[in-house]
Every structure is written in C-alpha cells, then in structure tokens.
Amino acid sequence: MIDIVNSSMQMAVIFVCEMVAFYDARTKRSRLRLLYGLFLLSIFLGDLWWVLGMVFYGGNLGYSLIPYINWKVALLFLILMMQQYHGEPVFRKPVRKTQWLIPVFCGFMCAGYMTLGAYLDNVVTAILMSVIIWNAVQRLIEIRKGLTEKTGDSLLCKMILIFCALEYAMWTASCLNEPWYNLYYVFDAAITVCYILFIPAVRKAVRE
C-alpha cells in the first residue's frame, strides 16, 4: 500500500510539473521546455503503468518491461535537453582526465545491480547514466574554466547531477534489507522535489 500511495503522490507532482513545462513550451516556443515536459511525461507513464499493475494485478501486470522502457526514454530526454542547449555532440573529449571515473563508477554500479538480474536493463541504464553525468560534469567544468560563453545551464546541470545521484541512491536502497530499504522512500521523495526544482533551472537556461 505504501508503494501505491508514494507513487501516486509523485505522479500528482509530476503531472503538475509537466503541465507547467508544456504550457511554457507553448507560450515561449521553447524546445528545451518541451523536452523537459517529455522527460516528465515518460516518467509519468512509467509510474502509471507500475501503479496500475500494483492496484489491479498485485504487481503481476503483464509487459512489465513497459515502465522500464519509459524510464529509459526519460533519460534519453535528459541527454537531448543538454544537447539542445549547447548544440554540441553528445560524445566529446574530456576536459579533465578524471572524467573517465564516471563510466567506471557507472559500470561498477551496473555490475552490482546485475547480481540481482535484469542484465540488459542495467547495461542500458549504465550507458545512459554515463552519458548524462559525463555531459553535465563537462559543462560545469567548461563554465568554471571560462571555456564557454553560455553559462545559463549551470543550474540545470547541477540539478541533473543531483537527480542522478538520488536515482543511484534510491536504486541501491531498494536492493537492501530493512531498515535500510526505508531510505528508498526518502530518496524517492527527494527526487520528487527535484522535478519541481528543474522548472526554474530550465527557465534560467532558456532566458540566456
């Protein structure tokens, strides 16, 4: 029951945020805001399928891959959001060699999660998260070193990194036993707050 209530509350917040994003995209003719709205829509649809499965089928709803596909699509929209802003290739040479620790970390986490199964899902997630974190970190380094004149996405990159950190924390907590499993709900609530804070971050990037 707590999973249903938690997911339903998150869905309500996501729905409001995506309506705001789509309204902004329509009135301001902003592709970045549209992509943010699509990012939220993908998460919303994945959560909706998940909740319907728990309510009507006790979690045994068929086509269980659907919510996972939706969440992967959401990560793709995050990548497109960053690419849309600075208009550069997704894969770029690192500004610092320490950036190579990002795919190492994602690969390490992937290996840990794969001990519980879902091999393909974890590999795809690791690749997408590596790309997202790599680009966000690279942008922040470029801004700090003065290598770019466009700095409006600084807050957006920070929010993306916080979102990724909370996602990893939530996934890890979900693999643990009580009482550590309860941290899953704490991190999930924090991610819900992130969806709200993304709105001013996107708006700031658009205004530049």
- Dist. CA 32–CA 27, nearest whole Å: 13
Output the pTM of the full model. 0.89
Residue with tokens 């990159």: 157
Residue with tokens 């997911």: 7
Give residue-wise pLDDT tens across range 65-99: 777 888 899 999 999 988 877 666 667 778 888 99
Q: Alpha-carbon distance 90 to 131, whole Å?
A: 7
User: Does 5 score more than 60 pLDDT?
Assistant: yes
Q: Is 147 helix (H, G, I), strand (E, B) or coil?
A: coil
Parent domain of 86: 2-207
CATH code (residue 149):
1.20.1070
Contact 144, 97 (CB under 8 A): no
33 pLDDT higher than 70 = yes
More confident residue, 154 or 178: 154
* pLDDT, tens digit (0-9, with 9 covering 90-100), for 151-174: 778 899 999 999 999 999 999 998
Residue 59 has pLDDT above 60, yes or no: no
Count of structural domains within the chain? 1
Cite the DSSP H helix spans in the chain. 2-28, 31-57, 65-86, 101-114, 119-145, 154-174, 183-207
Joined tokens for residue 186: 């704490």
Report the SS3 class of residue 97: helix
Instruction: Please give the structure tokens belonging to residue 208.
Output: 């530049």
DSSP label of 150: -
